[in-house]
Structures are given as C-alpha cells and as structure tokens.
Amino acid sequence: MAKLSVRSLSVKGQRVLLRVDFNVPTEEKDGRTRITDDTRIRESLPTLKHLIAEGARVVIMAHFGRPKGAVNLKYTLRPVAEHLSTLIGKTVLFSSEVIGEVPRGLIAEMQDGDVLLLENVRFHAEEEANEAGFAAALASLGDVFVNDAFGAAHRAHASTAGIAAHVGKAAMGLLMEKELQYLQGELSEPARPFVVILGGSKVSDKIGVIKALMEKANTFLIGGAMAYTFFKAQGIPTGNSRVEADKLDLAREILALAESKGVRFLLPVDNLETQEISATAQPRATGVHGGAKGVSEGWEAVDIGPETVALYRTEIASAKTVLWNGPLGIFELPPFAAGTRSVAEAVAASGAVTIIGGGDSVTAVKQFGLADRMSFCSTGGGASLELIEGKVLPGVAALSEV
Ligand code: ADP
Ligand code: MG
C-alpha cells in the first residue's frame, strides 16, 4: 500500500503542519550560535519550496538537541529560523511557544506562502511521550500534516506519529518519499547482482540488517572493525584490532547462514595495521591470508588492505545494485582513509543503483566529494537501518494510505 504524497495534496490556503529534521550541529562563537553543517535544513527545502509555491501557509515543527522535555534556550530553534530565512530568501516567522495562544495568534495573521517555525517541540515532555493531548494541540494549529523528518521517523513521538490521528490527511514530504523509494522500493526487488558493503564499528549494531539482507543480497563485502570479529570467530589472528568478544557465536551463525543460502560473504584478505592511532601514523599492509596470517601481534587493523580494495572494486564494478553502510576503516584519520575512499570511488563509478545509508558512511562519501555521484545518500542513521531491517517506522506507518 502506498502512502499519500505531498505532491497529491491541494494545499492552497491550507495551514500545513510540516515536520522536518532540523537537528543540525552547531557551535557557540562570540555568544552566538552558529550552524556548522546545514545539510539537514537544505534537505527539507524541496518540500518547503513546493508548499510555498502552492500557496500553503507552512507551520514547521522540529526538534533540536536534547532539552529533555523542559524549556532550555540553549536549544532554541530561533537561530535556525534566521538561517532558514536566508536560505529561502523570505522571512520565516518564529513562534517562541510550541502550542497555545502565541502560535495561534501568529498563524491567524499568515498569508498564503508564508512560513512559520515553532519553537523546539522537545521543550514539552509530552512530545517524546507521544501524549495524545499534546499531539491534538499541535494538530489544532493546522489543517493537514506533512512529514519530511525521515531521520526521526523511527520514533513514535507526538509531532512525528501521534499528530496524524488528529488531522484529516497525513502525507509524506518529498525527502521522506525519496528515502522510501530507495530504501524500500529499490531494495525490495533489487537489480542483480546486488552487492552489500558493510563496515563500521560493530557487528552487533548491524545484525538485523545483515539478517534481513541475507534474504536479498548476492554478495556481502565486509570491512571496518566488524571484520575482525569475523576473523576472530574463524581463528584468524586479530592482534589489537577491535573485536566484539561476546559476538563470536553470532559471527559464526552469520557465516553459516550465508553458506546455507549461497550468499557470498567476503572478508578482507589483507588489512592496514598500525601501532599508533594518529593522523601521522604510517600503517603497513598485512600479508594476504589464505588461512595464513592475519593481523600482527601488538598491531591494530584500521583499514582494509590494497589486495582487498582491488577485490572489492572488481565486485562493485559488475554490480547492478549497491547498498553501503559503514566505513571500511577509521576514515576520519587520513592515513586510514584509503580503503573507504577507493571503494567509494568504485561505487560512484559503477553503473549500479547506489544507495548509501548510515551517518558516518554518508559523512565519508561527502568528505570525498562523491555524494552527488551516488544514486542516493540517506539522511537517516537509525531510521535507515530500521527500514532496511524491514521494521515498520512509526512516522511512516502513521501517514495516510492512498
Ligand atoms: P555508520 O554511521 O555509517 O552506520 P558506524 O557508526 O557503524 O557507521 O561506524 C563508523 C565508525 O567505525 C567510524 O567512526 C570509523 O572510524 C569506525 N571504524 C571503521 N573501521 C574501523 C576499524 N578498523 N577499527 C576501529 N574503528 C573503525
Ligand atoms: Mg555511526
């Protein structure tokens, strides 16, 4: 069943309650809050511009930081309203109260195409508790609800889920629609070969994803710290590499599952190892282990090695669908970024549908300047993983069916 899209709503003159993800990183400088990365705000612009062009009166709801259900001006959204004004070249009104007479009065004065941002919804404990009265109070400020906050869709909060029950129509915004199109649509019947690249810090974070994708993928390419838990589970030396010692049985279970399903599950054949985690470290490549040597004693594996890079690039070149979650090394430090970079270049150059999910993976791809060359970079960290796992996201479930 498909969800209602904002594109099929007639919103002229309507008060549209738009939930977005404006939870941007900031820093304090000279007594002012500065937004250090406005990507999330920019991601919401297509929906916002669409609503403005259609003559809606847009009332934006967002959360920011963790004020834990109390008013804390450290987490005010006012600077975001100012920044948004410059991005859209139009004054964005700001309501210092989330619900009640203050926003009601401001909204009553709005004209078609006007935009107002409500103060941080998490100033009310009822938001995260998904309290019905609060959801209804939010809903009373508008006529229809549009949810574009994919990054918060795995949370059943008042402004992401509860509110939908109190409005006539609840539609997905353009960003939400794109997220679902790629993470659900494209992955439900992927063009083959379907190659999944998995890395990052822990196997335990990704078990659900691995198991769900085991039903679909042709090949897994494993890297990152999680690779060494699989090494250890097979008796390959791991030196000082990061290993989840309590997940060895799980790793073996996954390897057996891949084998029984005929899914190719590739682990690094060599690695970069170091004795020092720093930006000036000079890691060395381990030998290629065909049952022979893994990571040296006293050394830590921090990236996949050159032989592995070559092997993975070949796999990627013939893929028709690539899903990537989790960096293949400690890419934050230049000496350990080569593997992740080289694989990212191969993904970008492949003719496949290429989907990047996961906060750090998307950061890596952006850092390499390759984001525009991917089919899609998801804006959701936890939400993307849960969707890929096949879980129902409350923020999506609450939307109207068409
Ligand atoms: P994502 O956010 O894309 O889902 P994760 O949060 O699972 O990714 O993992 C990202 C982190 O994994 C990065 O900070 C990276 O430094 C770390 N990492 C990758 N490879 C290794 C490794 N070999 N050893 C230790 N940490 C690693
Ligand atoms: Mg992460």
Does ligand 1 come within 6 angstroms of the Cβ of 4?
A: no
Atom of ligand 1 nearest to the CA of 303: 23
Helices (H) and strands (E) in the chain, counts: 16, 17
Q: What is the mean pLDDT of the chain?
A: 95
Report residue 368's pLDDT band, with 50, 70 and 90 as the boundaries: very high
Q: Is 202 a catalytic residue?
A: yes
**Nearest ligand, measured from the Cα of 202:** 1
**Nearest ligand, measured from the Cα of 367:** 1
Position 90 scores a pLDDT of 96
Q: Which of 81-90, 159-168, 204-213, 392-401 has the lowest mean pLDDT?
A: 204-213
For residue 216, what are the CA distances in angstroms to 51, 202, 347? 37, 22, 19
Does ligand 1 come within 6 angstroms of the Cβ of 224?
A: yes
Q: What percent of the chain is predicted at pLDDT more than 70? A: 98
Beta bridge partners of 116: 59, 93
Question: Does the pLDDT at position 205 exceed 90?
Answer: no
**Nearest ligand, measured from the Cα of 222:** 1
Span from the CA of 356 to the centroid of ligand 2 (angstroms): 12
Position 291 scores a pLDDT of 47
Q: What percent of the chain is predicted at pLDDT more than 90? A: 90
Report residue 179's pLDDT band, with 50, 70 and 90 as the boundaries: very high
- Region 146-172: mean pLDDT is 97
Position 289 scores a pLDDT of 61
Whether residue 3 contacts residue 402, with contact meaning beta carbons closer than 8 Å, is answered with yes
From the candidates 3, 19, 40, 206, give the one annotated as an active-site residue: 40
Does ligand 1 come within 6 angstroms of the Cβ of 325?
A: yes
Q: Is 122 a catalytic residue?
A: no
Whose alpha carbon is nearest atom 10 of ligand 1? 200
Does ligand 1 come within 6 angstroms of the Cβ of 271?
A: no
Whose alpha carbon is nearest atom 4 of ligand 1? 358
Position 312 scores a pLDDT of 98
Pocket test for ligand 1, best of 201, 277, 368 (most atoms within 8 A of CB): 201
Strand spans (E) along 209-277: 219-222, 264-266, 271-274
Pocket test for ligand 1, best of 209, 238, 340, 360 (most atoms within 8 A of CB): 360
Whose alpha carbon is nearest atom 7 of ligand 1? 200
Position 1 scores a pLDDT of 67
Atom of ligand 1 nearest to the CA of 330: 16
Beta bridge partners of 33: 28
Pairing of strands 15-19, 271-274: unpaired
Span from the CA of 245 to the centroid of ligand 2 (angstroms): 20
Give backbone dihedrals phi and psi of 172, rounded to 5 degrees, phi first. -85, 145
Atom of ligand 1 nearest to the CA of 202: 7
Whether residue 235 contacts residue 228, with contact meaning beta carbons closer than 8 Å, is answered with no
Q: Give the model confidence (pLDDT) of 303-360 as tens digits.
A: 999 999 999 999 999 999 999 999 999 999 999 999 999 999 999 999 999 999 988 9
From the candidates 55, 113, 359, 381, give the one annotated as an active-site residue: 359
Q: Give the model confidence (pLDDT) of 252-307 as tens digits.
A: 999 999 999 999 999 999 999 999 999 999 999 997 765 456 999 999 999 999 99
For residue 361, what are the CA distances in angstroms to 2, 26, 139, 352? 29, 21, 36, 18
Burial (Cβ within 10 Å: 0-12, 13-18, ≥19) of residue 316: buried
Span from the CA of 327 to the centroid of ligand 2 (angstroms): 9
Position 359 scores a pLDDT of 86
Atom of ligand 1 nearest to the CA of 333: 16
Give which of 328, 380, 333, 295 is closest to 224, Cα–Cα.
328
Position 290 scores a pLDDT of 54
Pocket test for ligand 1, best of 213, 308, 330, 333 (most atoms within 8 A of CB): 330
Q: d(Cα 231, Cα 208) in Å, to the nearest integer?
A: 20
Question: Does the pLDDT at position 198 exceed 80?
Answer: yes
Does ligand 1 come within 6 angstroms of the Cβ of 359?
A: yes
Q: Is 40 a catalytic residue?
A: yes
Give backbone dihedrals phi and psi of 339, rounded to 5 degrees, phi first. -65, -50
Does ligand 1 come within 6 angstroms of the Cβ of 364?
A: no
Question: Tokens 């994919």 belong to which residue?
Answer: 150
Whose alpha carbon is nearest atom 15 of ligand 1? 330
Type and span of the H or E element at 106: helix 101-108
For residue 110, what are the CA distances in angstroms to 51, 141, 148, 171? 14, 12, 22, 22
Angle, CA 9 vertex, CA 8 and CA 14 arms, to 5° = 165
Q: Is 223 a catalytic residue?
A: no
Quick one: tokens of 205? 């974070």
- Region 231-260: mean pLDDT is 96
First to last CA, the chain: 7
Q: d(Cα 200, Cα 209) in Å, to the nearest integer?
A: 13
**Nearest ligand, measured from the Cα of 363:** 1
Whether residue 358 contacts residue 381, with contact meaning beta carbons closer than 8 Å, is answered with yes
